[in-house]
Structure 1
Amino acid sequence: MPSRPGLDPRTKIIAVIAVSAAVMSAGGGRFIAAGLLLAVGLAVWERAWRRAVVLPLFVGASAALAFWVPLVRPHPALGAVATGSFLGLRFAVALGVGMHLIATTSPTQLSAAFRAWRIPRGITVSTSVMLRFLPLVATEATAVLDAMRLRGLTGLRAMLRHPILAIERFTVPLIASSLRVGEDLAASAMLRGLGSPHRPTSMTPPRFGGRDATFALVVAALAAGSVLLSPGPA
């Protein structure tokens, strides 16, 4: 989590929904540049320099495949690649904004935001557990791969010689460790009172502030500029 104060979790959730709806709509091509600027700006704000560099490069390469390559060499296969690239750069812009939400919002903050919205407890608890479970499973998968690598059980040769055995050597330890992680999370959830009928309190309740208002103005300006400067729907 970044040390500097950030946006309210509800602001970030609304931004993800708004950007996703804008770029994935029928005329969403006009909002891609604005969404990319927003995603890169959020990455720079949280000092995620790798994302701030990789995201524009990926969107630029996808845009080149989508618009430039079919014009240089028309071909049905290239047309299919262009269509996939155009959808990919839309998803990349929406994902770039969503990664800011994931990287800067803890499950506790997200739960507090959901409670402030009066979202049902089942959705709140399920989302909080998912956000805690997936990173732990990814860590366990890395540990299993490291253990297999130390024993010489990974690599293309081992996969081609015994593919079923290689998959089994990876999935069985991962399932066992995932079950252990699930039990630990269940115990932690009980200690935190997630199953209690009482409404829990938050040490830092979500509140809209000046940063959220400034962010809303920036998003509105980018959306207005995209509409005014765009020649038409894309």
Structure 2
Amino acid sequence: MNKSVFDPRTKLAVILCASFTMMIPVGWEEECLFVTCLFLLFVWSGFWKKGLALYLLFLFLTWTDQRLFTQGDHLWVFILDFFSVGYRRLLPTIMAAVFAVSGTRNSEWMAALQKIHIPNVLLVPLAVLFRFFPTLIQDFKRIRQAMRFRGIGMNGASLFLHPIQSLEYLLIPLLMSAEKTATELSATALVRGLATDTRHTTVYDQKLQWRDAFVLLVLCGFLLGGVWLT
């Protein structure tokens, strides 16, 4: 199965719709229906394992909220219920973001943003941002590997138990690497001509297919329904 079956512009619309539903008050039924549709998009794209994990997390948070609501008026109940509802409200946007980055290359995203005429003042920072975090994660892994070679073992607990060592061995090298990475990526974006006003060419032939039109139609239905219900 081709795991990149949706146009990046459609994925961007999914993120915007998920963000919109987070800002407006929607009922539990509408929220559950929207998350179910997001899960079906994961299945349709071939990333059903990611979708299933996030969908089960949503069901767990929903179940937790329903159980805590009937446990009385204790302070700990209010605190746990607050975090449960908060994370559940954020989860559709997180699911949409994970769906958007799954199976879509950075170059495809840049081609899609150029096609919808995103200004260069936004395009160049986005080009740097799309490549910054994956590169930073690789640098973090290399730093951890270099620490193991030198006999410096730091797990998740020791990062908090020994903050001075964490700062010296991990955070400072990571910040220096991040500064160098950001500078190099910015130079790369400028060398590729992303800041020019001329038309850019791309090897990706991006066209909206029937599946994209179907998803956009469903999103419009959710948006209109959410506005009407509020």
Q: Is the TM-score greater than 0.5?
A: yes
Q: Give the percent of matched residue pairs that are identical in Structure 1 and Structure 2.
A: 23
Q: Distance in 1 between matches of 2:227 and 2:33?
A: 10
Deviates most, 104-113 or 151-160? 151-160
State the 1:97 CA deviation: 1.5
Does the residue aligned with 2:208 lie in a helix, a strand or coil? coil
Does the residue aligned with 2:100 lie in a helix, a strand or coil? helix
Are the aligned partners of 1:34 and 1:226 in contact in 2 as well (CA < 8 Å)?
A: no
Task: Tell me the residue number matched to 2:199.
Answer: 199
Deviations 1:122-168 (A, max 9, x none): 11111121011111101111221233244233147855774213222
Q: Distance in 2 between matches of 1:215 and 1:168?
A: 49
Tell me if 1:178 matches 2:174: no
Task: Tell me the residue number matched to 2:46.
Answer: 47
Task: Tell me the residue number matched to 1:163.
Answer: 163
Q: Indicate the RMSD between aligned Cα atoms, in angstroms.
A: 3.0
State the 1:59 CA deviation: 0.9
Tell me if 1:76 matches 2:75: yes
Q: Distance in 2 between matches of 1:105 and 1:156?
A: 31
Are the aligned partners of 1:34 and 1:222 in contact in 2 as well (CA < 8 Å)?
A: no
Number of paired residues?
229
Residues 25 and 145 (structure 1), Cα distance of their counterparts in 2 relative to 1, 3 Å cut: same
TM-score under structure 1 length normalisation: 0.82
Task: Tell me the residue number matched to 2:188.
Answer: 188
Deviates most, 161-170 or 136-145? 161-170
Task: Tell me the residue number matched to 1:214.
Answer: 214
Deviates most, 211-220 or 130-139? 211-220
Task: Tell me the residue number matched to 1:119.
Answer: 118
Q: Distance in 1 between matches of 2:157 and 2:50?
A: 33
TM-score under structure 2 length normalisation: 0.83
Deviates most, 99-108 or 189-198? 189-198
Are the aligned partners of 2:139 and 2:174 in contact in 1 as well (CA < 8 Å)?
A: yes
Deviations 1:86-143 (A, max 9, x none): 1211211221112111223323222222222222111111112101111110111122
Residues 165 and 155 (structure 1), Cα distance of their counterparts in 2 relative to 1, 3 Å cut: same
Q: Distance in 2 between matches of 1:48 and 1:4?
A: 7
State the 1:77 CA deviation: 2.0
Q: Gaps spanning 5+ residues in structure 1: where?
A: none
Q: Distance in 1 between matches of 2:181 and 2:9?
A: 29
What is the identity, as a one-letter code, of the residue corresponding to 2:168?
E
